Amino acid sequence: MKRGFILIVYLLLIVTIAAGACAVTNRVFSGERAERGGNGNDGKQKSAYTASDRFTRAVKDGNAQFVPKHPGVKNGQAGNTKIPKPVKDDSATVVPPVPIDPARPMIALTFDDGPSQETFRIVALLKQYGGRATFCVVGDRIERFQDAMREAAAQQCEIIGHSWDHRNLTKLSDAEIRDELVRTNDLIHSVSGQRPTMYRPPYGAVDDRVKGISAQEQLAVVLWSVDTMDWKTRSADQTYKSIMGQVGSGNIVLCHDLYPQTADAMERVIPELAQQGYQLVTISELLRASGKEIVPGEVYNRANR
């Protein structure tokens, strides 16, 4: 009898200890589930706090480092190129491209030697102010920055060739000149959907032979009337002063979208030109609005306005 009583007490003690252990275990696992933000499925259920939320919070704090996904981008890097901070894109202030008013002043901003990561910044600024530009691209850079070209095309910017690998066309054979032009234009068309009717020769180097081949390929030649020398100064302030000191309706402005300093300058130039009433248009739009016919083989450096 006594032995049976002791056995019952012993069993009750074991049951009590086991119940306590289960309670502790449940609290531990509940804490783990809470930290994972899921339902105890080893963290497979995603937290509601996403990368988008982190970016939104960073923008509000002025510390945005998040970069849109583009080919070759990993952890904020594309090859050896550091990706710049994106332009803050407040959808409430974005102005869609507007029709051209021939009675108002207009100017064509052009960017050579890209595309590059800086192209994204410049296109974002144009989008914000309802403007367009002409991007004169080097053929062997296109595949690396296809998204930049597509964004420019979506903003109704003009994309034209600047040769395949930036060689002086006047020093090449006829066949080499033709190859530089045709290969670049074919890839532009494949990526952006645009078929260029003009191009800008590297260094602005053109002679009668180059003009003749251009005419055969149904391409006009475009140069510039304002040279910012941004490739040399690498100074946002000097680029800004160069443009604003020579600004005038009908000008074709030469810049390069390879350099962060040029994109920095555009953060001042584009808003100020818009505030002064200038329409930011493409080269083709500028020439046509001035009544010029774009003729293959002819050279253009400004519009007469």
Tokens of 219: 């391409």
Residue 265: how many other CB atoms lie within 10 Å: 25
pLDDT value for 281: 97
- Provide the residue ranges of all domains of the chain, joining segments of one domain with +: 1-48, 57-82, 106-300
pLDDT value for 14: 56
- Angstrom distance (rounded) from CA 209 to CA 166: 18
Alpha carbon distances (Å) from 39 to 47, 50, 53: 11, 18, 22
Please, which residues have CB within 8 angstroms of residue 116's CB and are 6 or more apart in sequence? Answer: 81, 141, 145, 148, 257, 258
| Neighbour-count burial of 301, counting CB atoms closer than 10 A to its CB (0-12 exposed, 13-18 middle, 19+ buried) | middle
Strands 198-199 and 220-222, bridge-based pairing: parallel
Asked if 109 contacts 253 with a C-beta cutoff of 8 angstroms, the reply is yes
The one-letter code for the residue type at 45 is Q
pLDDT value for 244: 98
pLDDT value for 62: 36
HSE (CB half, 13 Å, CA atoms) of 166? 11
Q: What is the pLDDT along the chain (305 residues), one digit of tens a residue?
A: 445 555 555 555 555 555 554 444 444 334 333 333 333 333 333 333 233 333 333 333 333 332 233 333 333 333 333 333 334 444 334 556 668 898 999 999 999 999 999 999 999 999 999 999 999 999 999 999 999 999 999 999 999 999 999 999 999 999 999 999 999 999 999 999 999 999 999 999 999 999 999 999 999 999 999 999 999 999 999 999 999 999 999 999 999 999 999 999 999 999 999 999 999 999 999 999 999 899 999 999 998 64
pLDDT value for 199: 98
- Angstrom distance (rounded) from CA 192 to CA 184: 12
Q: Domain 106-300 falls in which CATH fold?
A: TIM Barrel (3.20.20)
pLDDT value for 71: 32
User: What residues are annotated to the active site?
Assistant: 112, 256
Please, which residues have CB within 8 angstroms of residue 164's CB and are 6 or more apart in sequence? Answer: 138, 139, 140, 179, 180, 183, 184
